[in-house]
């Protein structure tokens, strides 16, 4: 993993659990972000606002020092509509399932996966066929808050559209094709 992929500083929503606390029957957790954490996540993800962030997660042993974390993150986000430019609320719900392994094992699996992709002639096909390597267990801990934050970001609509919003181009004269500059001039006058 490159340094450019890792944000600087501590994550805005962090709930580390020590892997030694996970028994043979696993561990079920429900987490909730506070107002300050929601505000920091909203800023990080380019949202107007975020509230009611909740996480349900199950952590299970997968043999040896490996773990599987499976769950769901839910939140209410306020985004700007790409059509009307008005803020609106939307519900985000994103499931997740991630394998974790000790740091050295996870790094070795990542290096193997990258080498296989690099050696392939059809890199896109090799990438699609490659299973995700496990995420690293850092310092004997798995950060469920940081994991949920990643999947929340993945669940966001990159082109949010307010329900019912429609883009309808303005056509003033059907005999001539509309000019984008004419439309901008009209907007400037208004």
107-162 residue pLDDT tens: 998 998 888 888 888 888 888 888 889 999 999 999 999 999 999 999 999 999 99
Whole-angstrom distance, CA of residue 120 vs CA of residue 104: 25
Q: What is the pairing mode between strands 67-80 and 16-18?
A: unpaired
- pLDDT at residue 8 above 70? no
Whole-angstrom distance, CA of residue 95 vs CA of residue 21: 23
Residue 114 lies in a domain: no
pLDDT in tens, 38-85: 999 999 999 999 999 999 999 999 988 999 999 999 999 999 999 999
pTM of the model: 0.78
Q: How confident is the model over 170-176, as a mean pLDDT?
A: 63
Residue 126 lies in a domain: no
Residue 16 lies in a domain: yes
Residue 122 lies in a domain: no
Residue 148 lies in a domain: yes
For residue 21, give the DSSP letter: G
Number of Cβ atoms within 10 Å of the Cβ of 182: 13
Q: What are phi and psi for residue 55, nearest 5 degrees?
A: -130, 130
- pLDDT at residue 21 above 90? yes
Residue 117 lies in a domain: no
Helix 35-44 × helix 144-155 angle, to 10°: 50
Q: Find the domain containing 162 and state its range.
A: 3-102+138-189
pLDDT for position 171:
64
Residue 79 lies in a domain: yes
Q: Which of the four pLDDT bands, split at 50, 70 and 90, describes residue 4?
A: very low
Task: State the total domains in the chain.
Answer: 1
Task: Give the chain's largest Cα–Cα span.
Answer: 74
């Amino acid at each position: 993993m490159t340094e450019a992929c890792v944000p600087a500083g501590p994550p805005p929503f962090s709930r580390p659990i020590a892997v030694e606390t996970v028994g043979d029957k696993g561990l079920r957790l429900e987490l909730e972000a506070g107002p300050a954490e929601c505000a920091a996540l909203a800023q990080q993800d380019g949202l107007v606002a975020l509230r009611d962030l909740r996480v349900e997660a199950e952590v299970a042993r997968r043999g040896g020092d490996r773990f599987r974390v499976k769950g769901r993150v839910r939140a209410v986000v306020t985004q700007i509509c790409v059509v009307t430019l008005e803020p609106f609320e939307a519900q985000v719900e994103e499931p997740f399932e991630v394998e974790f392994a000790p740091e050295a094992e996870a790094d070795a699996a990542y290096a193997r996966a990258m080498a296989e992709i690099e050696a392939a002639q059809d890199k896109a096909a090799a990438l699609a066929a490659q299973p995700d390597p496990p995420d690293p267990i850092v310092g004997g801990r798995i950060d469920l808050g940081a994991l949920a934050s990643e999947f929340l970001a993945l669940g966001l609509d990159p082109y949010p559209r307010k329900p019912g919003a429609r883009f309808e181009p303005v056509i003033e004269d059907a005999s001539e094709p509309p000019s984008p500059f004419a439309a901008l001039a009209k907007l400037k006058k208004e």
